[in-house]
Amino acid sequence: MEEVKLFETAKERAHYDNLADLYAVINTLQCLERAYIRDCVKTTTMSKLCTDPTLWGGFLFETKQYNRKHFRYEAACNKLLAQYKTAFKLVQSSEYPDVDSFVKKYRLDCVAALERIKDDQPVKVRTEKTGNSNKCIADIVSLFITTSDCLKLERRAKDDIYPLIREICDALSSMSSLPANFEAKIKMNEWLKVLGAMSVSDELSDDQTRQLTFDLDVSYNAFIRTLKDDEN
């Protein structure tokens, strides 16, 4: 049987590779959403929180252990959404003007993934409005530590850092007790803009990494001070 070639030039091969990448990202997102629905993946929410400021040391240790042991839905979902945006731009054309046309063309069964793509964010499992402020605090502390650890491990690529910074911004915004001009909000939103302007394959420079590490530390300490002030 004669082998059928999909491409004859390097440009055609790149086109099919891009189509395959987009297909894989959407399919993976669908699998993640199905796993989340079945409660097979963990969220960043902690099961308990030490609300006494004098016990934060023990809580921070517990948070680090939690992050190392459990798969995090939000970070994975944000990363896939960022990858989707880049992958779709590479195939977007008159043939595929939107993701629905691509899904229809290749008969993808991915209702959950499409819903997540249209929302452009993970399922919201933490919100202070539901009276779950302790869980929201746990998420924020966990995210600050995870992002700092990521930089210490020299993971500087946009697709590593951007989802975490976005989660921090979302979590801080969900706390109505924090003012709009809260220092941590401002600093993290500034970094969100910087990272958003980068290509998905770009990495932070040494100076940017040093500055982000410093800003994370300053923002984290400002957040902890706010918690202590609320206790008084």
Give residue 101's pLDDT. Answer: 95
Task: Tell me the whole-structure pTM to 2 decimals.
Answer: 0.47
Give 211's Cβ-side CA count (13 Å radius).
Answer: 10
Give residue 147's pLDDT. Answer: 92
Q: Which amino acid is at 130?
A: T
Give residue 119's pLDDT. Answer: 86
**Residue 2: alpha-carbon gap to chain centroid:** 45
Instruction: Provide the angle, in degrees to the nearest 10, between the axes of the packed helices 158-173 and 183-196.
Output: 150
CB atoms within 10 A of CB 172: 21
Compute the residue count for the chain.
232
The sign of the CA dihedral 126, 128, 131, 134 is: positive
- DSSP at 202: -
- pLDDT of the chain along its 232 residues, tens only? 666 677 678 888 888 899 999 999 999 999 998 888 777 776 544 333 333 333 333 334 334 433 433 347 888 888 899 999 999 999 999 999 999 999 999 999 899 999 999 988 887 644 444 445 667 787 888 889 889 988 988 889 998 899 999 999 988 988 878 888 999 999 999 999 999 999 888 999 999 999 999 999 999 989 888 877 665 5
